[in-house]
Structure 1
């Protein structure tokens, strides 16, 4: 048995993994799908939320586990799992970046996103400086995140999105070879992704080397559009 910790991306929360987690559990594994701080539907958005707070939440979860975890990060969650591995390298068996931001030390999500000129998210991001959050226009969300999902599933997911605190986007990562650098890394690229384009995904996993790269021919949300295929990939990595 392995322990999977599945970390959601921006605007989402732990519900994103509802179709994948049962498939991993059915294969005999334990699955944790934590909500990062500040992602309560219908609640206020805490402006003091930082990338460090996200990573601390995951690190605390790793501390509570009986063995090193397979740590999966989707999209923005990639920055979170990198920082969590820096804090608890011995608590992580492998890092899996699911169409995620895989950044080098000293780089922020906002910095690298600016390079992705064809991203529907980059093109349409709305910054609310007064509230300290970023949003995406409703009319863009489906094409950006859920383009390969059935319409009813895309509608279900979109209704659960919440505003995203901006501070974690702006915070550069602080990583070392001694900690983050010694944890094995795998990248799962999504070839129809319109939020983080395949070109940027390839650039990231070329600059920050991974032991393995896998591909899924789908959108930015394979946990909804291709849950069975994603689960097979994750299970194969658990056996490795």
Structure 2
């Protein structure tokens, strides 16, 4: 089976993907739903995008998930670029909202 890393959009948490993660786990997949730095309970709300991205890169590295499939929300496009650089073997899919799908 596959391993997925579901990456939330800004101002959300990994909890946003728990229902999806449950369905994927029921199908036998391994699923991770990390919460980016700055969005965790008690985090400083002054955390910048670079710090948030670094927290996901660190999570993937610490868990040795460099061959996982990462699914990121459309507002995580900066994250997509960084993950391509930091985790060369990681397959990344970015969900486009209907508003941006035709761009």
State the aligned residue count.
Answer: 102
- The 1:22–1:44 alpha-carbon spacing in structure 2 relative to 1, beyond 3 Å, is closer
Asked which structure has the greater RCO (Cα within 8 Å, sep 6+), the reply is 2
Partner of residue 81, structure 2: 82
The whole-number CA distance in structure 1 between the counterparts of 2:56 and 2:22 is: 21
CA contact under 8 A between 2:8 and 2:14: conserved in structure 1? yes
Q: Normalising by structure 1, what TM-score?
A: 0.39
The whole-number CA distance in structure 1 between the counterparts of 2:11 and 2:65 is: 30
1:160-175 equivalences in 2 (<5 Å): none
Greater Rg, structure 1 or structure 2?
1
1:50-89 equivalences in 2 (<5 Å): 50-63=48-61, 64-65=63-64, 68-89=67-88
Cα deviation, residue 66, structure 1? 5.4
The whole-number CA distance in structure 1 between the counterparts of 2:94 and 2:65 is: 23
Unaligned runs of 5+ in 2: none
Q: Normalising by structure 2, what TM-score?
A: 0.84
Cα deviation, residue 59, structure 1? 1.6
Cα deviation, residue 202, structure 1? 2.2
Secondary structure of the corresponding residue to residue 16 of structure 2:
helix
Secondary structure of the corresponding residue to residue 101 of structure 2:
helix
Q: 1:96 aligns with which of 75, 88, 93?
A: 93
1:201 and 2:101 aligned: yes
CA deviation map 1:171-228 (0-9, x unaligned):
xxxxxxxxxxxxxxxxxxx43xxxxx1xx3322xxxxxxxxxxxxxxxxxxxxxxxxx
Cα deviation, residue 32, structure 1? 0.5
CA contact under 8 A between 1:4 and 1:70: conserved in structure 2? yes
The whole-number CA distance in structure 2 between the counterparts of 1:78 and 1:72 is: 11
CA contact under 8 A between 1:10 and 1:75: conserved in structure 2? no
| Coordinate RMSD, CA, aligned | 1.9
Partner of residue 153, structure 1: none
Unaligned runs of 5+ in 1: 100-189, 192-196, 204-240
Secondary structure of the corresponding residue to residue 84 of structure 2:
helix
Cα deviation, residue 27, structure 1? 1.0
